[in-house]
Amino acid sequence: METVVFYQFLTGVPRAAAIWSALFLLALTVLAVLVARPERDSLPADPTPPTPTARETAAAEIADLRRYAEEVAVASARAARTARRRRADWLVAQDDAQRAWTAYDEADSAARRVATAGALPTPRTPHTPAEYAARERYLHRAAMAAYWRGELTMAQLGDVFGHRRGWDPRRHPVEQEVLLIRAIRDARLAEHRTAAERERTAWRDAEVAASSARALAQEAYAAAVRSRPVAVPSRRTVTRVSPTAVAARWRPVRAG
């Protein structure tokens, strides 16, 4: 009995080993396939994007051109407003320069008149402390009056009260008046030069702004034209006329 069992064991082992080996190889094969192709089995294939048609490409180009035309139109409108504002500033500066020139011309005419009158001898007065005090008071009052009229600057008024830059309170009132008129002329001249420089600067700014506005307006018009879709002309039916019919149409009719 034991011999039969042992014989069956010896004959069944190779068969079982073969079966287990086949199953093991099959499992290894399936595992290798799963490890080698995880992404291909889990992720869908990336589809190729479709090629846009000619109509879609043209529509996209028209949309880009329209956006650009809108942006240029906005910039052109802003440049036009800037140009108008710069021109208005230049007109104001021009008026200021003209007023400054008129004021200087009046002050220069007054200075020339007193220069002609300066050829006359200065009236003689007694050189007393009271006389010098009266001359100083006259100079200060005349300078203050000119300052409140806007004919002297604060710096010039400070020179008068500080007795600097040739302002001597001991001079005769006639001489003080001549010096005061000349100082007013010099102040008017300085104001005119400053106003003229402001007017030139405003003119340059207005010219630059106007040039930029013109360039942007031209570009805005060109961009608007480019953004318009081109209409494709439709095919027209052409009626063919035979040469015989044409000749018959223009053949003169003989009078009977």
Asked if residue 27 has pLDDT above 90, the reply is no
pTM for the structure as a whole: 0.57
Can you point out the beta strands (E) in 23-134? none
- Contacts (Cβ under 8 Å, ≥6 apart) of 144: 157
- Examine residue 38 and state whether it is found in any structural domain, yes or no: no
pLDDT given for residue 103 in this prediction:
92
Task: Report pLDDT digits (tens) over 143-200.
Answer: 888 889 888 888 888 888 888 877 888 887 778 888 888 889 988 999 999 999 999 9
pLDDT of residue 99: 94
Which of 250 and 104 is assigned the larger pLDDT? 104
Can you list the alpha helix ranges (DSSP code H) found in 118-172? 129-148, 154-162
Q: Does the pLDDT of residue 73 top 60, yes or no?
A: yes
pLDDT at 138 over 80: yes
Q: Is residue 212 part of a domain?
A: yes
Q: Can you give the C-alpha Rg of the chain in angstroms?
A: 53
- The mean pLDDT value for 102-106 works out to 93
Q: Report if residue 121 sits inside a domain.
A: yes
Q: CA–CA separation, 194 vs 96, rounded Å?
A: 10
- Is residue 37 pLDDT above 60, yes or no? no
d(CA 71, CA 219): 11
Q: What is the pLDDT of residue 230?
A: 59
CA separation for the pair 63, 54 (Å, rounded): 14
Looking at per-residue confidence, does 112 or 87 come out higher? 87
**Is 247 among the domain residues?**
no
The phi, psi pair for 87, rounded to 5°, reads -65, -40
Which range marks the domain in which residue 189 is found?
Answer: 58-226
The mean pLDDT of 224-246, rounded to a whole number, is: 56
Q: Where is pLDDT greater, at 72 or 229?
A: 72
Residue 163 lies in a domain: yes
How far is 170 from 160, CA to CA, in rounded Å? 12
User: Of 182, 172, 178, which Cα lies nearest the Cα of 132?
Assistant: 172
Q: Which two tokens stand for residue 92?
A: 């104001």
198 domain-assigned: yes
Cβ 126 vs Cβ 172: under 8 Å: no
| Cα 49 from Cα 244, distance rounded (Å) | 59
Judge whether 171 lies within some domain.
yes
Mean pLDDT of the chain: 76
Nearest to 171 by CA among 124, 130, 132, 129: 132
| pLDDT for the residue numbered 246 | 36
Residue 101 tokens read as: 């020139």
Number of domains in the chain: 1
Whether 207 is in a domain gets the answer yes
**Tokens encoding 239:** 């009626």
